[in-house]
Amino acid sequence: MEVFVHSMDKAVVVAPVGDVDLSVARELQGHLKRAIEGKPARLIVNLGKVPYMDSSGVATLVEAMQITRKQATKLVLCDLQDKVRSIFEIARLDRVFTIVSSQEEAVTIQ
């Protein structure tokens, strides 16, 4: 996994590339924490280049959600591939997260 971080005007985009499993979950956690610390209005996690995620990856995102809720940061996930969407559905978290199809939508959705 590699992680690209892109800071925009009012949003930070964190875009991991590659499978997100137990072997890299901590690394993703670090990137998310640093992004959250900057208190952006919006934290966008672009999963377009993540073919696979297990519950370690999901746990990292749940944790990010809990921290962002305590500050004025809106967390949005975008561009999920089918296999990744499937784990959110199985875990019934697809309603808990704000999930949109494209990064453009992630920037504008209220």
Partner 1 sequence: MTPTKPQSPTMERLDRDFPLDAVPHTPPHVVVELFSQPRYLSGARDLVSAVAKRFGFDDAVCGQLALAVDEALCNIIRHGYDRRPDGRIWLSLWPVSEDEGQPHGIRIVIDDLAAQIEPDHIKGRDLDDIRPGGLGVFIIKQVMDKVRYEKRPGGGMRLLMSKLLPAQADEQGGKR
- Give me the residues that bind partner 1 (CB under 8 A), please: 19, 21-23, 52, 54-56, 58-60, 62-63, 66, 82-83, 86-87, 90-93, 96
Name the helix (H) or strand (E) containing 78. strand 74-78
Measured from the CB atom, the residue of 8 and 90 that comes closer to partner 1 is 90
Residue 78 β-bridge partners: 46, 100
Burial of 110 (0-12, 13-18, 19+ CB in 10 A): exposed
Measured from the CB atom, the residue of 3 and 59 that comes closer to partner 1 is 59
Task: State in angstroms the smallest separation of the CB of 12 from partner 1.
Answer: 20
Measured from the CB atom, the residue of 56 and 98 that comes closer to partner 1 is 56
Give the three-state DSSP class for 16: strand
Task: State in angstroms the smallest separation of the CB of 57 from partner 1.
Answer: 10
Task: State in angstroms the smallest separation of the CB of 20 from partner 1.
Answer: 11
Cα atoms found within 13 Å of the Cα of residue 96, Cβ hemisphere only: 16
